[in-house]
Amino acid sequence: MLFENVLDVLAPAVLDVRHVGMRYESREVMRDIHFALTAGDFVSIVGPSGCGKTTLLRAMAGLTEPTSGSVRFKDREIREPQSEVAIVFQDYNRALLPWRTVRGNIALALEARRIARSEHPARIADLLRRVGLTRHADHYPAQLSGGLQQRVQIARALAQEPQVLLMDEPFGALDAITRQRLQDELLEIWSATSTTMVFITHDLEEAIYLGNRIIVLEANPGRVAADIRVDLARPRHQLTTREDSRFLAIRHQLFGLLSAE
């Protein structure tokens, strides 16, 4: 207990997941999930499909209320979505407004924050540049590939200027090359802002490549199986980082944890 408090002083928790459990009728989906996110951290969450990753992320976003335990953002309990906590959904093709252009979709987050219209163009231009969408500003989502659509969703989430960015398998449906490019872009965005990142993936290598910390979930019911520090140098590099012996050691460890079932 004392130790926890010392840590709090050194690196205050932004998001605190406290003994969270979730039941759907008789089915227990999550049990006693407990961890805290430190400001500025990049946390990957991995686990077999159906172990409750999406349910956990939705609880952290305030979209669903857990049946036991609580999620706290700074000093307040989250029951409804908070403007400081943004979420990027897995299904980008449903999460964008098809009737608005890329620019218009990003503008939605600015409108929500009541930012003066006169400031929109400059802010949108900056966001477009950060996610590499400048050339597509006036395209409608239906005209874009999956990778570009997911960039729009990320840009919209960034337009919220959140303190925590929650992402649910954001690159899951993309091809390998697009995926690697987006991973690097995301790391650049992360290092340029102080946003705390939570990144769900079922790809173990992606989890290690991106994260400072990996929370491993096991299924039935979803529980924390391990909480692993990743001490790989930054900036990371698609080839050398993945060849690093510590990378491989963590990969072995995760593989062991997830194939134990």
Partner 1 sequence: MRRWYGLMFIAALVALAELVCARGLIWSAIFPAPHATLAALVSGLAAGDLWAPIAATLAHMLAGWISACALGVVLGALVGMTAFGRDYIAPTLEFLRPLPAAAIAPIGLLLIGRNDAMIVAVIVFGAVWPVLLASVHGFASIEPRLKEVSRTLQLTPVRALWAIWIPSALPEIIAGARISIALALIMAVVAEILASTGGLGDWLNLAERSYRTPELYAGVLLVGLLGVLTNLALERVEAYLLRWKPPAATF
Ligand X SMILES: Nc1ncnc2c1ncn2[C@@H]1O[C@H](COP(=O)(O)OP(=O)(O)O)[C@@H](O)[C@H]1O
149 binds ligand X (CB under 6 A): no
Name which of residues 88 to 117 contact ligand X (CB under 6 A). Answer: none
Q: Provide the minimum distance between the beta carbon of 108 and partner 1 in the complex, in angstroms, as a whole number.
A: 6
Q: What is the 3-state secondary structure (H, E, C) of the chain?
A: CHHHHHHHHHCCEEEEEEEEEEEECCEEEEEEEEEEEECCCEEEEECCCCCCHHHHHHHHHCCCCCCEEEEEECCEECCCCCCCEEEECCCHHHHCCCCCCHHHHHHHHHHHCCCCHHHHHHHHHHHHHHHCCHHHCCCCHHHCCHHHHHHHHHHHHHHCCCCEEEEECCCCCCCHHHHHHHHHHHHHHHHHCCCEEEEECCCHHHHHHHCCEEEEEECCCEEEEEEEECCCCCCCCCCHHHHCHHHHHHHHHHHHHHHCC
Q: Provide the minimum distance between the beta carbon of 53 and Mg ion in the complex, in angstroms, as a whole number.
A: 5
54 binds Mg ion (CB under 5 A): yes
| Partner touching 52 among Mg ion, ligand X, partner 1, none, CB below 5 to 8 Å by kind | ligand X
Q: Residue 54 or residue 180: which is nearer to Mg ion going by CB?
A: 54
Name which of residues 11 to 50 contact ligand X (CB under 6 A). Answer: 24, 29, 47, 49-50
Number of residues that bind ligand X (CB under 6 A): 10
| Partner touching 50 among partner 1, ligand X, Mg ion, none, CB below 5 to 8 Å by kind | ligand X
64 binds Mg ion (CB under 5 A): no
53 binds ligand X (CB under 6 A): yes
Decide: 203 and 47 in contact? Cβ < 8 Å. Answer: no
| Partner touching 29 among Mg ion, ligand X, partner 1, none, CB below 5 to 8 Å by kind | ligand X
Q: Provide the minimum distance between the beta carbon of 51 and ligand X in the complex, in angstroms, as a whole number.
A: 5
Q: Residue 120 or residue 237: which is nearer to partner 1 going by CB?
A: 120
User: 18: which strand partners?
Assistant: 70
- The site for partner 1 (CB under 8 A) is made up of 61-63, 80-81, 83, 85-87, 89, 91, 94-95, 97-101, 108-109, 111-112, 140, 142-143, 160
Per CB under 6 A, residues contacting ligand X are 24, 29, 47, 49-55
